[in-house]
Amino acid sequence: MSKKALITGITGQDGSYLAEHLLDLGYEVHGLVRRVALEDPERRFGRIAHLLDKVILHAANLDSYASIFHVISRHDFDECYHLAAQSFVAESFIDGFSTMSTNINGTHYMLAALRELRPGCRFYFAGSSEMFGRVQEVPQKETTPLHPRSPYGISKVAGFHLTRNYREAYGMFCVSGILFNHEGPRRGFEFVTRKITSTVARIKLGLASELRLGNLEARRDWGHAADYVRAMHLMLQQPVADDYVVATGETHSVREFCELAFAEAGLDYRDYVKIDEQFCRPAEVDLLIGDASKAIRELGWQHTCTFPELVREMVRADLKTEAERAGVREYLSAGS
Ligand code: G4F
């Protein structure tokens, strides 16, 4: 009998890589998707288009306990990966209330429904290095005190504590992965890495002339999302539920990312990048660098993609996509 997994946020970057990974491992994969009035299936399901005949999708909304309860009552899930969230930090400063509501209540509803209906189902919560915020220690590990700097970070701290509370209060197998930034060609365009690589491609093809960014000095520990979803799965296979930092242990500035990405296309970032205050945040997280030694030791997890490889893969993929759109032959064989 294959194991049944439920993924919330299956249409997102991480959800799509995780669904692929679990399918490869022989799982029956279910996903929760929002029902929206104006469907654009090509866009909404773009990241899982190649999986649509292999996964089972259910309509539910994280704002509705009833809809979550309904789906969980119908399938005996072994594992649940709760990835869905309002995950864009900048947006959380604009609409903190929606971010809090979706991220905190959504997590609480998932936990409460599982407790009621499937207490044996193992639960993964997508924690975040944003929880460290104004960092109290370098590098950050599982025991580093939390000091979130955004409504998003606060919502993730609440989800993290809720998850731990369900573990401690009800004996459920509930874990949080404290994932540092993880990227790849499927990353949303609003995040800085994809904003950079997609604009580099457009500049290279003559479709754009500049790239407007906020704080170039912010430093992040950037890994590849395909590596990080393997850690999520490993966390749910352990004998005892626990929380883990997942990171590469390297930090780079947004400026360094720009430098490499433009260089990959044979360009100098200094000729194109302009600072635009509208992309600066009211409170910034200046430095993130993770210590994943516990995950390496206990899960046997390792990242495989280096920072230059990540940048290269993203630039090449965007060059290919943009060239296809624009009908430029030269870049069509590059990237994947
Ligand atoms: O790519 P970002 O928007 O990611 P951020 O804020 O670090 O959050 C991401 O990683 C978290 C894990 O630590 C996740 F939990 C979260 O959901 C998300 O995936 O911004 C990265 C850095 C920031 O310091 C930001 O101020 O880039 C800086 N930046 C500079 N100019 C910009 C821009 N970020 C964006 N999105 N757009 C800019 O124009």
Q: pLDDT per position in the chain (336 positions), as tens?
A: 899 999 999 999 999 999 999 999 999 999 999 977 656 777 789 999 999 999 999 999 999 999 999 999 999 999 999 999 999 999 999 999 999 999 999 999 999 999 999 999 999 999 999 999 999 999 999 999 999 999 999 999 999 999 999 999 999 999 999 999 999 999 999 999 999 999 999 999 999 999 999 999 999 999 999 999 999 999 999 999 999 999 999 999 999 999 999 999 999 999 999 999 999 999 999 999 999 999 999 999 999 999 999 999 999 999 999 999 988 877 766 544
- CA neighbours closer than 13 Å in the CB half-sphere of residue 330: 7
The confidence score (pLDDT) of residue 273 equals 99
User: Catalytic residue at 130?
Assistant: yes
Amino acid (1-letter code) at residue 245: V
Looking at the DSSP bridge assignments, the partners of residue 125 are 82, 176
Ligand 1 site, residue 91, Cβ cutoff 6 A? no
Q: Angle 82-51-330 (CA atoms, 0-180°, nearest 5)?
A: 115
Question: Exactly one of 17, 152, 228, 244 is catalytic; which is it?
Answer: 152
Which residue out of 103, 183, 186, 192 has the highest number of ligand 1 atoms within 8 Å of its CB and is therefore the one to mutate? 192
CA distance linking residue 182 with residue 195, whole number of Å: 14
CA of 181 to the centre of ligand 1 (A): 8
Amino acid (1-letter code) at residue 332: L
The confidence score (pLDDT) of residue 328 equals 82
Q: Angle 121-126-132 (CA atoms, 0-180°, nearest 5)?
A: 140
The confidence score (pLDDT) of residue 331 equals 73
- How many residues make up the chain in this entry? 336
Atom in ligand 1 nearest the alpha carbon of residue 281: 26
The confidence score (pLDDT) of residue 39 equals 64
Atom in ligand 1 nearest the alpha carbon of residue 153: 15
- 51, two tokens: 């999986």
Which residue's C-alpha comes closest to atom 32 of ligand 1? 192
Question: Exactly one of 20, 28, 130, 259 is catalytic; which is it?
Answer: 130
* Of 290, 265, 329, nearest in space to 130 by CA: 290
Which residue out of 83, 89, 99, 279 has the highest number of ligand 1 atoms within 8 Å of its CB and is therefore the one to mutate? 89
Distance in angstroms between the alpha carbons of the first and the last residue of the chain: 34
Atom in ligand 1 nearest the alpha carbon of residue 179: 12
Residue showing tokens 């302009």? 274
